[in-house]
């Protein structure tokens, strides 16, 4: 696969994910926002 095709695939996936996110109800969005903010800390939390 060429570099251009790869980039298009990534952009397509990103657009798809944003589309899925926007189609979710407000409650699920709040849940995902909450979890999303915590995820970066998980590697640290695992070791404490």
Partner 1 sequence: MADYDVIAIGAGLGGLSTAALLAKEGFKTLVLEQSDIIGGCCSTFETEGYRFDVGASIVEILQPMDRFFELMGKKREDYIDLIPCDPIYSFITPDGQRFSYPTDIDETTRVIEKIAPEDVEGWERFCDEALDKMDEMMDSMMLAPMNTMGEAMSMTIKNPNVMKFMPLLLRTHQAVTRSYYKNPIIQASVAFQSYFAGAPPEIGSGIFGFIALTEHLGIFYPRGGMIAIPEAMMKAGQEHGLEVRTGQKVEKILVNGGAVRGVQLEDGTEISSKVVVSNVNAKVAYLKMIGTDNLPSWAVKAIDSYRHSMPCPMIYVGLDTKPDLEAHHTVVTGSIDMMNEVWNDYYTKDLIPNSAMSLVCWPTEADPSLAPEGHHVLNFMCNAPAPYAPVGDNWDRIKDWYKEESLKNLEKMVLPDVRDHITYLEVSTPLDFERRLLSPQGSIYGLFSDMTSLAMFRPNARSRAVKNLYLAGSSTHLGGGVPVTIASGVITSRYIAEDHG
- Write the burial class of residue 18 (CB in 10 Å: 0-12 exposed, 13-18 middle, 19+ buried): exposed
Binding status of residue 7 toward partner 1 by CB under 8 A: no
From the list 2, 14, 27, the residue with the least C-alpha distance to 35 is: 27
Binding status of residue 20 toward partner 1 by CB under 8 A: no
Binding status of residue 27 toward partner 1 by CB under 8 A: yes
Binding status of residue 38 toward partner 1 by CB under 8 A: yes
Q: Which residues bind partner 1 (CB under 8 A)?
A: 27-28, 30-31, 34-35, 38-39, 41-42, 44-48
């Amino acid at each position: 696969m060429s570099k251009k095709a790869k980039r298009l695939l990534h952009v397509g996936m990103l657009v798809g994910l944003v589309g899925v996110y926007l189609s979710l109800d407000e409650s699920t969005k709040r849940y995902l926002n909450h979890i999303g903010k915590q995820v970066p800390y998980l590697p640290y939390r695992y070791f404490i």
